[in-house]
Amino acid sequence: MTIKLHDIKRLFATMILGVVVALGAMAQTDAAFSHSWLGPGYYNPAAAGEHNAIHMTLGSRMQWVDFKHAPMTFYLTVDMPYKLLGQRLGAGVKAEFERIGLYTNTRIGAQIAYKRKFGKNKMLSVGIQPGVFSQTFRGKEVIMPEDEAHQGNDEAIPKQDVSGTAFDANVGIFFSHPRYWAGVAVTHVTNPGIELKVSREAIDYYEFRVSRGYYFMGGGNIPINNTLFEIQPSAMFAMTQNMWTAQIATMLRYNRKLNIGVGYRHKDAVTAMIGMNFKDAYIGYAYDYPISAISKATFGSHEVFVTYNVKLDNREKNKNKQKSVRLM
């Protein structure tokens, strides 16, 4: 039997994706967006209400596009500031849809942030995001090889479509200033266990445990004197019980409109980014080129991010206007 190079690449890609999915089942993590500096609310609910507007962020990531069933994530956050009994607050919602291998994840949550202003243009926020985590495993699509080296059956793998839902929550602290920002967040605080069943009435189930994620983020805005250029560095460190990652990025902005930048994710990928600021919107694109062994089977990952602000017509809120350092 002759083995072609194309067949070897397909086998290699399938093996890698299988390992990734298996690791995901043991230690679920959130998507690692190269645009993390643009949408901190994905990880940290305390970032809700940072803009003096109804702020919307739509993010999408298509990872390892050459793979069948490769990870694909879409999310939307909508948030705004408001006052209640004289206290500064932020409120928002987050919805996320993700497909990875034979898993489909849906997460929906409400974000509430308490904000305290101190010093000049400094804001400290504490936030929480209660919600639900729903998951489906498409067991009917499982293909088990049957030969001398394989049993063709594994009781640990569902042969039917199973699904389940569990309570989920994120918490965080966020600090902002017109020239810099930082945040700490914990996702999936309750370490939820999702019981995947054929139906609600079924007795037998498969359990999927979602690991907590710990995120440390920060960034800044550095004007270059006597020019129309600004440098916007950012960094994020993330970890779960079994793994960790770190990434950095630097954007160069010209005339507060054109943005170009580069990024690096530890032992994973290098990133090229470009974006454009409009009056109330931002559109950005990022391309990740893998530098790990997976580069033998894929040409990379793609991200598209869009933000849009609907201005609030409120004189009292506009009185102490504070722009986000990420969109100034």
pLDDT at 89: 97
In a domain, 272, yes or no: no
In a domain, 279, yes or no: no
Task: Answer yes or no: is pLDDT of 53 > 70.
Answer: yes
What distance in Å separates the CA atoms of residue 213 and residue 30, rounded to the nearest whole number? Answer: 7
In a domain, 32, yes or no: yes
pLDDT at 16: 40
In a domain, 284, yes or no: no
pLDDT at 226: 92
In a domain, 71, yes or no: yes
Beta carbons of 74 and 313 less than 8 angstroms apart: no
What distance in Å separates the CA atoms of residue 107 and residue 269, rounded to the nearest whole number? Answer: 26
CA distance to 64, 256, 273, per residue, from 328 (Å): 32, 7, 18
What distance in Å separates the CA atoms of residue 102 and residue 156, rounded to the nearest whole number? Answer: 15
pLDDT at 119: 83
Give me the DSSP letters along 32-85.
--TTTTT-GGGT-GGGTT-SSEEEEEEEEEE-STTSTT--EEEEEEEEEEEEET
pLDDT at 26: 37
The pLDDT tens digits of the residues spanning 117-151 come to 988 889 999 999 999 999 999 988 877 666 665 56
Structurally, how many domains does the chain consist of?
Answer: 1
Task: Please report which confidence band the pLDDT of residue 293 belongs to, taking 50, 70 and 90 as the band edges.
Answer: confident
Q: For residue 226, give both structure tokens.
A: 């006597």
What distance in Å separates the CA atoms of residue 88 and residue 81, rounded to the nearest whole number? Answer: 7
In a domain, 268, yes or no: no
The pLDDT tens digits of the residues spanning 185-206 come to 999 999 999 999 998 888 888 8
Q: Which domain holds residue 123?
A: 5-57+67-262+296-319
pLDDT at 149: 58
Residue with tokens 């019980």: 241
Strand 161-177 versus strand 180-187 pairing type: antiparallel
pLDDT at 87: 92
The pLDDT tens digits of the residues spanning 207-218 come to 999 999 999 999
In a domain, 179, yes or no: yes
pLDDT at 152: 60
In a domain, 106, yes or no: yes
